[in-house]
């Protein structure tokens, strides 16, 4: 793929997986794990080593931000002003975030529409939150190539805004079915679950 492996962070998406399965991956040397349910994250964290870097990769209700925030190394799914406000409430230095973009305008998914990205990035900056980049969950692909236009689109959006917001260095894109294409298109973070843990029960 022509990329230095150290340029791509692999997040093992452990949602729905047991603490034992996560511990096994940890013992093999992995440290970045992704959860998408607030209650599940809060339950797992105390049972596992404290040097795990927890990524919250799912839709997050504003009222549950306070549960997730103390445990989160990076929030991948900030997508609206109300979540910006919840993320900083009573937290002088909240964890960094990625802004999720809904390029395909899928109504069942979170993410800001591209025309609203500038306003949301400004709100994040005004709130004193460190925004590290952008994230996408594209439509379910029939083939890995189906995801390429969405990945190139996200990379183009980052390029359009990085001049104003130099901290936008990350592109979180690519999952089990299409991570190789995502890497080809510049992903710096891939979120892989099934290829690591197998199907969830």
Distance CA 48, CA 67 (A): 17
Dump pLDDT digits (tens) for 174-185: 999 999 999 999
Residue 18, pLDDT score: 94
Residue 49: other Cβ atoms inside 10 A: 11
Q: Check pLDDT > 70 for residue 1.
A: no
Identify the band that residue 7 occupies on the pLDDT scale cut at 50, 70 and 90. Answer: confident
Q: What is the mean pLDDT of residues 49-56?
A: 98
How much is the average pLDDT of 79-100? 95
pLDDT band per the 50, 70, 90 thresholds, residue 166: very high
The reported pLDDT for the residue numbered 52 is 98
The hierarchical CATH code for the domain 5-197 is 3.20.20.10
pLDDT at position 120 is: 98
Query: Which parts of 45-137 fold into alpha helices (H)?
Result: 65-68, 81-88, 117-126
Determine the Cα–Cα distance for residues 108 and 105; give it in Å rounded to an integer: 9
Q: The tokens of 178 are what?
A: 């299409």
Please give the C-alpha separations between residue 46 and each of 51, 58, 198, in angstroms, as whole numbers.
Answer: 11, 20, 24
Query: How far is CA 196 from its chain centroid?
Result: 17
Q: Are 97 and 120 in contact (CB under 8 A)?
A: no
How many residues make up the chain in this entry? 201
Predicted TM-score (pTM) of this structure: 0.95
Residue-level pLDDT at 201 = 62
Average pLDDT over the chain, rounded to whole?
Answer: 95
The rounded radius of gyration (Å) of the Cα atoms in the chain is 16
């Amino acid at each position: 793929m022509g990329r230095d492996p150290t340029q791509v962070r692999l997040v093992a998406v452990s949602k729905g997986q047991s603490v034992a399965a996560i511990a096994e991956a940890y013992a093999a040397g992995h440290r970045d794990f992704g959860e998408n349910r607030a209650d599940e994250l809060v339950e797992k964290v105390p049972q596992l080593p404290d040097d795990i870097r927890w990524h919250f990769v799912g839709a997050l209700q504003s009222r549950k931000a306070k549960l997730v925030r103390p445990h989160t190394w990076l929030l991948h799914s900030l997508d609206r002003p109300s979540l910006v406000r919840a993320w900083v409430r009573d937290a002088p230095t909240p964890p960094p975030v990625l802004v999720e973009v809904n390029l395909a305008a899928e109504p069942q998914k979170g993410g800001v529409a591209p025309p609203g990205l500038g306003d949301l990035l400004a709100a994040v900056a005004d709130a004193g939150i460190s925004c590290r980049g952008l994230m996408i969950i594209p439509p379910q692909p029939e083939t890995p190539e189906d995801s390429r236009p969405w990945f190139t689109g996200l990379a183009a959006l980052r390029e359009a805004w990085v001049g104003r917001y130099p901290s936008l260095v990350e592109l979180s894109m690519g999952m089990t079915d299409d991570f190789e294409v995502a890497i080809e298109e510049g992903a710096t973070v891939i979120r892989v679950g099934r290829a690591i843990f197998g199907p969830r029960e």
